[in-house]
């Protein structure tokens, strides 16, 4: 059974600060995705990473996939109140039909 | 296409009643997934379809839960004899098999069992 652990579970920072969220597993994933979810809404896809060691940037967000494809991180530079939300990592394996397994999420609060 | 649509958005029901939720996926997507999410947690997989075939059901899905996708388009999730522990957000998502484009989620149906 895949198990994705996210840390920290909760992060509260001031506007302008940086933050990093981690996603770890003992399983090797064919792809890993990050989603952001706001209260009362479904998760929205931010990025997909597929290659070990891959780094993707999306404006102030930087996503990294570990060399062994077992872990990932999300780094936000100069966080803004609009970055507030629940950040979810989700991994897929071919053995599981590329069905996504989600981590428990990291709740981020950016205070103005 | 307006994305994945779920109805109703909210449902309050008494314990022991049956409820049914509907999901309309993105029309070009052949895969449809149901997840359940409790407050502050990540979504938990329940079941998924490729076209009209139900390919996998989680062990979380008791006999009181049933899902259908009769024509490979919309799907329904029914919960019979609801219990308070069924209270959660039920999320539907769709995707195209064979791609790594990720899932498109609906806004969910929030079920409260009183």
- Give pLDDT tens digits along chain A (112 positions): 558 999 999 999 999 999 999 999 999 998 999 999 999 999 999 999 999 999 999 999 999 999 999 999 999 999 999 999 999 999 988 777 778 999 999 999 999 9
Q: Which residues contact A62 (CB under 8 A, 6 or more apart)?
A: A55, A56, A74, A75, A76, A77
Distance from CA of A87 to the nearest CA of B (A): 9
Bridge-partner residues for A14, per DSSP?
A111
More confident residue, A99 or B11: B11
Interface test with B, best of A48, A99, A103, A106 (most B CBs within 10 A): A99
Nearest to B42 among A31, A45, A88 (CB): A88
pLDDT of residue B73: 92
**Mean of the per-residue pLDDT values of chain B:** 93
Is the confidence at residue B99, as pLDDT, over 70? no
pLDDT value at residue A2: 53
* Residue pLDDT, tens place only, B57-78: 998 788 999 999 998 899 999 9
Residue A49 C-alpha, separation from nearest chain B C-alpha, in angstroms:
9
- pLDDT beyond 90 at B102: no
Q: How far apart are CA B87 and CA B37, in angstroms?
A: 9
Can you give the pLDDT at residue B1?
Answer: 56
Do residues A90 and A100 make contact, with C-beta atoms less than 8 angstroms apart?
yes
What's residue B40's pLDDT? 84
User: Phi and psi at residue A82, in whole multiples of 5°?
Assistant: -70, -10
Partner residue opposite B105 with nearest CB, options A42, A97, A99: A42
Inter-chain residue contact B108 with A107, CB threshold 8 Å? no
Contacts of A4 in chain B (CB under 8 A): 42
In this model, does residue B41 exceed pLDDT 70? yes
| Closest CB from B45, B107, B108 relative to A99 | B45
pLDDT value of residue A11:
96
**pLDDT for the residue numbered B61:** 81
Q: Is there a contact between A42 and B55 if contact means CB atoms under 8 Å apart?
A: no
Q: What is the pLDDT of residue A97?
A: 74
Distance between CA atoms of residues A86 and A109, nearest Å = 9
């Amino acid at each position: 059974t895949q198990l994705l652990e996210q840390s920290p579970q909760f992060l509260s920072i001031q506007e302008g600060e940086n933050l990093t969220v981690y996603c770890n597993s003992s399983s090797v994933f064919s792809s890993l995705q990050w989603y952001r979810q706001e209260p009362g809404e479904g998760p929205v896809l931010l990025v997909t990473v597929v290659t070990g060691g891959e780094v993707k940037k999306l404006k102030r967000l930087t996503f990294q996939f570990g060399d062994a494809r077992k872990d990932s991180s999300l780094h936000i530079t100069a966080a803004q109140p609009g970055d507030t939300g629940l950040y979810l990592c989700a991994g897929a394996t071919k053995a599981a039909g590329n069905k996504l397994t989600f981590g428990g999420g990291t709740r981020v609060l950016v205070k103005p | 296409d307006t994305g994945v649509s779920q109805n109703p958005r909210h449902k309050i029901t008494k314990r022991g009643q049956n409820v049914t939720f509907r999901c309309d996926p993105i029309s070009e997507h052949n895969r449809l997934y149901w997840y359940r999410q409790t407050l502050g947690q990540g979504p938990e997989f329940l079941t998924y379809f490729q076209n009209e075939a139900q390919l996998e059901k989680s062990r979380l899905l008791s006999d009181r839960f049933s899902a259908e996708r009769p024509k490979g388009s919309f799907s329904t999730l029914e919960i019979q004899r609801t219990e308070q522990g069924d209270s959660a957000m039920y999320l539907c998502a769709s995707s195209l098999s064979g791609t790594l484009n990720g899932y498109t989620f609906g806004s969910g149906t929030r079920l409260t069992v009183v």
